[in-house]
Structures are given as C-alpha cells and as structure tokens.
Amino acid sequence: MAEKISDLPRGNGGETQQTDTSQKLTTNHGLPVSDNQNSLKAGARGPTLLEDFVLREKIFHFDHERIPERIVHARGSAAHGYFECTDPIPELSRAKLFAKKGKKTEVFVRFSTVAGGAGSVDTPRDVRGFATKFYTDEGNWDLVGNNIPVFFIQDAIKFPDLIHSVKMEADRGFPQAASAHDTFWDFVSLMPETMHTVMWAMSDRGIPRSYRMMDGFGVNTFKLVNAEGSTVFVKFHWRPRLGIQSLIWDESAKLQGADNDFHRRDLWDAIEAGDFPEWDFAIQVIDQATADSLPHDILDATKIVPEEIVPLRVIGRMVLDRNPSNHFAENEQVAFLPSNIVPGIDFSDDPLLQGRLFSYLDTQKSRLGTTNFHQIPINAPRCPFANMQRDGMMQTQVPEGRANYEPNSLPEAGEDGGPRAMSSGFRTAPQDTQGEKLRIRPESFADHYSQPRMYWMSLTENEQAHLASAIVFELSKVGLNHIRLRMLSNLRNVDQGLAQRVADGLAMTLPPASTPAATPIDMDTSDALSIQKRWQPTLQGRKVGILFDEGSDQATITGLTEQIQKFGGTAFTVAPKVGGIKLSEGAMSADGQLAGSPSWMFDAVALVLTEDAAARLAQDSAAIGFVQDAYAHLKAIGHVPEAKALLDRAGVQADDGTVPLTDLAKAAQQRYWDREAKVRQLA
C-alpha cells in the first residue's frame, strides 16, 4: 500500500519549530518556504524533480560560496573600532581625521599572515599584515601596513617573483605557510636587498604572541600636505598599548597543531571580554633637509629611519571594540587599497608604493568579481559618494536622471546636473619630476647591509640567538647546498659572527663573503628595535592555565583566578576531564581538557594539585608535557608544594620563574630568558 505523504517524517526545523519571533525563511526572491528539509520528489522514494527551484537555488548559491582567496595575506582576522585624534596636526596635514583633539573616525582593521592560504595556521614564521581602513569624512583612507617596518624588495616589479618563491613550490604544492624551503632562500640569497626584512622575519618579530601585541608600520614613505600645500615626508607607526611580545619558535610550531586559530581566537576573545586592543598612532615627520641628511634614501622601503634620528610623535590612538558580525561579508570582502587616500596625505615616489597603487585595485576585480566592489557595505565610504561611473556587474545603486557625463549644462534646463568636482577636493601635491625615462635602480638604493647589521647589533644576546637559530632551522630545510652557501656568503656582510654561528649550526664551512653593491657603513644601534628591551611587564592580555585534578582546593583555585583577573589577565582552568571534577569540597568543571589544552596556549601555568594527583599525573604524558613545555618555553610556573612529583618528573629546576601561587600574578608578567641556556641549544 502506498505511504500517505502527510504521514512522512518532516525532519528537524520544519514549520513546527518556528517561534513568533522567527524571521520567515524565504527564497532569495522573497517566496516563503514551507519545508527546508526535503527536496521535491516524484513519489516518496522517487527521483528528485528538476522543477525543485527551492533546492536548485540553495545548491546553486552554495556551489558559489567561495571566492578566490587573496594571492597574499589570504588568512586574516579582523575587527571594528575607532581612531581618535589625541594631538592634532593641522600645521602638517589638512586631513580632517587629524584636525581636532578628540575627533573620532570609524575603522576596520585586518591582521593577516602573508604566505599561507585562507585555511592555514596562525602562527607560522611570517610577516604579519596590519591593514586599517579609516572611514573618514572625506573618503576612505587605507593604511595597508605590516608588523615589520621594511619590505623584502625595493621595486614593485619584483613582487610576483618574491611571492612565487615563498608560496608553496609550484610543482609539489608544499610547504604551506612556510618560508623554510629552497625557492624562497634561492630568491632571497640572489637578491641582497631582501636581507634587512629577512633579518626581521627571522627574528622574534616573525612569530608574534598576539595581534594585540604587534607594532604596525606603513612601511612606505608617504607625504603630509597642509592647507597651504606644504609637504613633509612621513612614516606611520602603530604601537600596541600592551607592548610587543612574541612566541618562542618551538611554541609557535606546536601551536600550529594545538590551535590553528590561536591569533584569531585571541583577538575575538579579547574583544568579546571587553578587553579592547589598543594602539598609539605615531608619525615620524621628515622634512626635505632631514631626508637629504639621512644615510639612506627615504624612498627605499628596505630601510627604516631610526627613531633615535627622527623621533616618533604620537598623534592618536586606535581601539578595536567590536568583532565582525560575519566573517565572509567583512573579513573576506574587505578590499584595502593603498590608493585610498584623503586630502592632506599624499604618496611619495617610492617605487614599491607606486606599484602597489595599481595592484590592489586590480586584484579586487578578480577577487570580488566586479568594479562595484566599493558598494559592498564593508568597503563603502561612510560619507556620501557620487560620480558618473555607471553600471557594471552587481550595481546596487539606482542613480537617477540622465546626467552621467561631465561637463553638462542640464541644470540650465532645471535638471539635476549630477556631482561636480570641487576645488577643495584632493589635489596631488605639485612636485618637480623632470628626468630621463629609465629602467634602473637608483645608486642611492645600493647599500643592502648597513641596516641589517644595525638591526642585528640592536638585539639582546638572547634575541640574536633566536635569530641565528631561526636561520639555521630554515636553511636546514633547504635541500640545495649552493643556496645555503650563497646565503652564508651574504650573511658575512651583515656580521661575521652571525655567519659563523649559522655555519656551525649547519655543520658547514663558511664560504668567502659575497661582494656588496655598496660598502656598508656603521650605524648606531636602536633599542626600539628589540622586543626584549621594550618588554612591558604586565599581565594584561596574558593567559594563565591552571591545572587541577581530583581533590584540589576550590578556594585556592578561586583565589588565584581572582588575583589573575585583578592584574588584567585571563585564567583558564585545565583538568584531565572537563565535566565535574570532585574537589576537596564540592565539584568543579574545567574550561579545557588537559590533552586538548597544552601549556603552549598559555603565557604561564599554575599547578593546584594534591600529592596524590601529582603522583598520578606524573605518569601521564599530557600532564608531564604541560609542565615540561611551560618550563622549556620559559614561562612562569606557579605551584603548590604538593605538585613536586609532577615538577620533578618534568625536569623542572627551581629558578626565578618557578614560584608559589601567591607570587604567580607578578611572575607571569614575563618570560625567563635566562632559563633558555638550560633548556635549549641555540646557534
């Protein structure tokens, strides 16, 4: 007997589950849908009908849900917030966002890795993008920067080569999100101009602890233009209020397994908790005379202007206080363009910047599919915008009238003549540009080694050891020996000692130095370049993992949590099981299970264990690893005396960072660099 259709199960989520407040489910064209669980069939068990327009629309849309990912900076995390001017600069720039103290401008910021795909991990060794869209009263200004102040190459024409070399190798499709392979080191060893940025990327700057703890730099030189039209060169800087902090390489590598989304989650969680990330915004103002007196060309993006020569002036702050509502609509669809500039700011002739002015606009067409990408809500200016560009795919505006050309005299007949150019609009600052047409690299760009050397000399010994070890690690993944040799030859021009350490680390003989294009000069060191010299001891933004188990003392855990929170940190409880664990009194559930919450996820750890539990956990590799790695990653370890069996099993030797629980909130504000010699052989 045929089944009665009305008796068939409807599946979950049918009409029956609707509440009064539910929005009506419709097709894309507004037709109310009665069943979102079953396709239209010829008979209860028969074939699906082509007629099923509801099914077809749903699958059709799904099939096209992905858009091409960014060729670089594909993996990113973003947030909304505001910029506030704290020290107006009308004498330097007529930009409205810098005009008045207290003036606030809405921003959207996207942080990113460079080399990996959109689904890759957050903590590889890489440069990080730091792109800010300011929705100003006079249009969007996009400051599309990085967390490293210099760039690998001097001329935009080398960008495709650089990126091809660092991305996964063309034939094999690996490695993903890693520079440790033949083609990258082949390219950089043949292009000594990359040396300065290579040094930064190989230093701890390449493995930031959090997006909230990174500097940001505009990298390219720009100009500020005041109301009279006078110009000065400018470099833009972001300085995080939490200070800069980095991971340890072993930690960042392990995090790639434990939490792919380590940085994305950290940013999201902080904002959800109302712990809003904040940066100071500073400028380096460089007039022509100062620019002429600098040892390097202001137009060369492989150089910094040391802040000891031109100090930073803080003129604003940025607060990120709202997470995206939709990852795709905002993070994926946001389109940053260095060519998005506002009156009062202008471009310099930096040949890298000049190439960028073309690339970003062009890439949006292939990524977002239409010249109308500026109408997507995340990209649309918050101020009114109007011009006579018309039509195109996905035009969502409905311009009225027939004034789609200029000039026109339609207003003389009483018709709307459309938008007109105003003399107060953006004007390129006049500049003398006479010269021969040439395809060359200027002589003033020739010195590739003085600044890498200055960078190296500015680091602490411990940071130098990290950097040397990072190069050893990367070159050890390079299969072609002649590439390693060429790199060693180049490193000799940075520092003989560095080159020797890398050679020793690889068990290779140091080859002769390569010949630099220009003789390097000695530069003063700069403490601002070192992370450790700038370390701000604070618990703010840092997370403490508290390991407990059966029988632990509830009051101790609560007291410790409160103390951590009082200092601005976050406490996260970890236990072998997440459900209710029996404590000395009552029971408590953990935030994370031990096997899934290794100590790499925390800045410090606490052990609140009974003697029995410590003895039991001393037989458990996850618990031993928890403590062993916290120790090897130079973290503070707070513990009750009863935890001794586990500490001993993990090989922990008492030092300044191993403390009673009462001292943990203070101890957890730093890493214990002096411990490193005991736990790791560095180059």
Residues within the interface to ligand HDE (CB under 6 A): 70-73, 76, 110, 112, 129, 131, 144-146, 151, 156, 159, 219-220, 301, 334-336, 352, 355-356, 359-360, 363
Look up residue 314 and give its DSSP letter.
E
Nearer to ligand HDE, 250 or 261 (CB): 261
Name the minimum Å distance from CB 570 to ligand HDE.
27
Name the minimum Å distance from CB 486 to ligand HDE.
24
The contacts of residue 562 (CB under 8 Å, 6+ apart) are: none
Enumerate helices (H) and strands (E) in the chain, giving the number of each.
18, 18
Would you call 146 a catalytic residue per the annotation? Answer: yes
Name the minimum Å distance from CB 214 to ligand HDE.
12
In angstroms, the CA 288 to CA 97 distance is 24
- Any binding-site annotation on 492? no
**Do 345 and 95 meet the contact criterion of CB atoms below 8 Å apart?**
yes
- Catalytic pick from 12, 28, 38, 73? 73
Alpha-helical regions (H) of 294-399: 351-368
Q: Which two tokens stand for residue 650?
A: 């993990």
The contacts of residue 654 (CB under 8 Å, 6+ apart) are: none
DSSP string, 175-242: -TT---SHHHHHHHHH-GGGHHHHHHHHSGGGSBS-GGG--EE--S-EEEE-TT--EEEEEEEEEETT
Nearer to ligand HDE, 334 or 665 (CB): 334
Name the minimum Å distance from CB 157 to ligand HDE.
8
**Do 138 and 112 meet the contact criterion of CB atoms below 8 Å apart?**
no
Q: How far apart are the first and last CA of the chain?
A: 80
Nearer to ligand HDE, 247 or 301 (CB): 301
Nearer to ligand HDE, 151 or 445 (CB): 151
Which residue's structure tokens are 């008492």?
Answer: 654
Nearer to ligand HDE, 302 or 450 (CB): 302
In angstroms, the CA 351 to CA 511 distance is 34
In angstroms, the CA 313 to CA 440 distance is 35
**Nearest one of 407, 199, 433 to 302, comparing CA atoms:** 199
The phi and psi torsions of 618 (rounded to 5 degrees) equal -70, -5
Name the minimum Å distance from CB 121 to ligand HDE.
17
Nearer to ligand HDE, 394 or 521 (CB): 394
C-alpha dist (Å) from residue 487 to 74, 163, 194, 648 = 29, 19, 11, 43
Name the minimum Å distance from CB 311 to ligand HDE.
22
Q: What angle do CA 246, 197, 476 make, to 5 degrees?
A: 75
Name the minimum Å distance from CB 210 to ligand HDE.
17
Name the minimum Å distance from CB 224 to ligand HDE.
17
In angstroms, the CA 396 to CA 419 distance is 18
**CB burial of residue 11 (10 Å; 0-12, 13-18, 19+):** exposed
Name the minimum Å distance from CB 19 to ligand HDE.
39
**Do 239 and 529 meet the contact criterion of CB atoms below 8 Å apart?**
no
**Do 660 and 637 meet the contact criterion of CB atoms below 8 Å apart?**
no
Nearer to ligand HDE, 146 or 489 (CB): 146
Dihedral, CA atoms, 348, 353, 355, 357, nearest 10 degrees?
-80
**Do 674 and 655 meet the contact criterion of CB atoms below 8 Å apart?**
yes
- Any binding-site annotation on 159? yes
Give residue number: closest CB to ligand HDE. 129
Name the minimum Å distance from CB 176 to ligand HDE.
17
Nearer to ligand HDE, 157 or 421 (CB): 157
- Any binding-site annotation on 420? no
Nearer to ligand HDE, 363 or 540 (CB): 363
Query: Residue 283, CB half-sphere, CA atoms under 13 Å: how many?
Result: 22
**Nearest one of 520, 589, 513 to 549, comparing CA atoms:** 589
N residues, the chain: 683
Nearer to ligand HDE, 277 or 545 (CB): 277
Look up residue 673 and give its DSSP letter.
G
In angstroms, the CA 279 to CA 388 distance is 38
Dihedral, CA atoms, 458, 463, 468, 474, nearest 10 degrees?
-120
- Catalytic pick from 28, 38, 140, 146? 146
Angle, helices 461-476/195-202, rounded to nearest 10 degrees: 100
Annotated binding site for heme: 70, 110, 159, 356, 360, 367
Question: What amino acid positions are annotated as catalytic residues?
Answer: 73, 146
Binding-site positions read: 70, 110, 159, 356, 360, 367
